[in-house]
């Protein structure tokens, strides 16, 4: 990707210096820890350990690192690589702001720029605890995208999807969720999922449609970013398509368990993700991204 002359977004909240596994614990984490805490209450040594943990927590350290829970930080990055990635992703974010800021008003919507939170290991989001193991995500409560830059190492090494445009696709997908939020799609979907009950087959199928639309919106961004900034180099599109394929539900399930369970899909198959990204990229028309038909 050619972004050397592009500006960086200012809508970035950099928590890398003070996250790294020392973030706050949410209620779900506390409930998970209760079976470990309860036996400690029965002995003086246990109470001493709890007291030390509470003291560490109040001082801003994460005592859960000792037992590998609650946000063990991702593998440390070379400082130069980390800095370069941060600059790159800020430039990609700025390109999404320009594209969607110009495009959405054509469809009767005003684009409100989201905030990108860069962190390491663990931090707190409006949607609860954010851990590097969760991967990048968008939180509609605080309108922020959460990203541990170490995820790109996992994308390249574990999922065999290297390349700068693959990284750009990941961010563009999360910004796609923000567009859905502005359009009211996420709210409608959430209400339907609550009506159907949590993780039912119908709820999973609906979530797949949400994710595939975000892939299509990522493609729309790529269409206009190339048209406006001429940023693509040979092989870039293939990087994005490879990343979309590598994180398809069927591919991930096969890697993890050796079998595929379509009813458990939440993001769509590799073939679907590639097809919807390509559809957005080739059309540049968000009306072509209606996955809910």
Please give the residue that has the higher pLDDT: either 256 or 202. Answer: 202
What SS3 class is residue 187?
A: helix
* pLDDT digits 0-9 by tens, 264-282: 778 899 999 999 999 999 9
What pLDDT does residue 261 have? 80
Distance CA 163, CA 246 (A): 13
* pLDDT digits 0-9 by tens, 106-121: 999 999 999 999 999 9
What pLDDT does residue 17 have? 87
Under the banding of pLDDT at 50, 70 and 90, the label for residue 201 is confident
* pLDDT digits 0-9 by tens, 213-251: 999 999 999 999 999 889 889 998 999 999 988 888 888
Please give the residue that has the higher pLDDT: either 192 or 288. Answer: 288
On the question of pLDDT at 70 being above 80, the answer is no
On the question of pLDDT at 76 being above 70, the answer is no
Rounded to the nearest integer, the mean pLDDT of the chain is: 84
Closest CA to 157 of 258, 77, 259: 77
What pLDDT does residue 46 have? 64
Burial label for 38, CB within 10 Å (0-12, 13-18, 19+), is exposed
What pLDDT does residue 57 have? 52
On the question of pLDDT at 208 being above 80, the answer is yes
Distance CA 109, CA 186 (A): 15
Count other C-beta atoms under 10 Å from residue 203's C-beta. 19
Residue percentage of the chain with pLDDT more than 70? 81
Q: Which two tokens stand for residue 28?
A: 């779900």
User: What DSSP state is assigned to residue 108?
Assistant: T
- List, in sequence order, the alpha helices (H) in the chain: 27-40, 44-58, 79-103, 151-157, 164-183, 185-196, 201-229, 236-246, 249-257, 270-283
- List, in sequence order, every beta strand (DSSP E) within 93-156: 115-119, 122-125, 128-131, 137-139, 144-148
What pLDDT does residue 53 have? 66
Phi-psi region of 163 (alpha: psi -120 to 50; beta: other; left: phi over 0): left
Rg of the chain taking only CA atoms, in angstroms: 20
199: phi then psi, degrees, rounded to nearest 5: -105, 40
On the question of pLDDT at 198 being above 50, the answer is yes
Distance CA 273, CA 271 (A): 6
What pLDDT does residue 106 have? 95
What pLDDT does residue 265 have? 79
Q: Where are the domains of the chain?
A: 27-67, 74-289
CB within 8 A of 234, min separation 6: which ones? none
Distance CA 173, CA 217 (A): 7
Under the banding of pLDDT at 50, 70 and 90, the label for residue 23 is very low
* pLDDT digits 0-9 by tens, 35-65: 556 666 677 776 776 676 666 554 444 555 4
Asked if 271 and 211 touch (Cβ cutoff 8 Å), the reply is no
Distance CA 101, CA 175 (A): 12
Count other C-beta atoms under 10 Å from residue 211's C-beta. 23
On the question of pLDDT at 25 being above 90, the answer is no
What pLDDT does residue 71 have? 43
What pLDDT does residue 38 have? 60
* Range with top average pLDDT, 37-41, 133-137, 200-204: 133-137
Distance CA 179, CA 182 (A): 5
140: phi then psi, degrees, rounded to nearest 5: -70, -15
Count other C-beta atoms under 10 Å from residue 192's C-beta. 12
Count other C-beta atoms under 10 Å from residue 283's C-beta. 15
Distance CA 214, CA 225 (A): 16
């Amino acid at each position: 990707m050619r972004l050397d002359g592009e500006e960086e977004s200012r809508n970035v909240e950099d928590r890398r210096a003070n996250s790294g596994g020392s973030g706050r614990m949410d209620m779900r984490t506390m409930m998970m820890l209760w079976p470990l805490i309860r036996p400690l209450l029965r002995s003086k040594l246990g109470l001493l350990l709890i007291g030390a943990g509470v003291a560490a927590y109040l001082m801003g350290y994460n005592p859960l690192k000792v037992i590998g829970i609650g946000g063990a930080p991702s593998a440390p990055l070379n400082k130069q690589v980390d800095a370069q990635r941060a600059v790159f992703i800020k430039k990609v974010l700025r390109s999404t702001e320009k594209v969607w800021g110009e495009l959405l008003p054509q469809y009767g919507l005003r684009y409100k720029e989201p905030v990108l939170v860069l962190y390491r290991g663990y931090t707190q989001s409006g949607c609860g605890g954010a851990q590097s193991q969760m991967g990048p995500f968008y939180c509609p409560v605080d309108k922020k995208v959460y990203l541990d830059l170490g995820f790109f190492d996992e994308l390249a090494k574990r999922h065999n999807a290297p390349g700068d445009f693959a990284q750009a696709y990941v961010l563009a997908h999360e910004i796609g969720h923000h567009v859905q939020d502005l359009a009211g799609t996420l709210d409608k979907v959430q209400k339907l999922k609550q009506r159907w009950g949590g993780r039912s087959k119908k709820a999973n199928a609906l979530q797949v449609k949400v994710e595939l639309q975000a892939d299509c919106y990522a493609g729309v961004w790529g269409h206009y970013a190339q048209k406006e900034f001429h940023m693509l180099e040979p092989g870039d599109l293939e990087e994005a398509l490879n990343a979309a394929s590598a994180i398809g539900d069927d591919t991930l399930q096969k890697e993890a368990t050796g079998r595929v369970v379509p009813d458990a899909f939440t993001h769509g198959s590799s073939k679907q993700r590639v097809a919807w990204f390509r559809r957005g990229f080739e059309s540049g028309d968000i009306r072509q991204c209606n996955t809910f038909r």
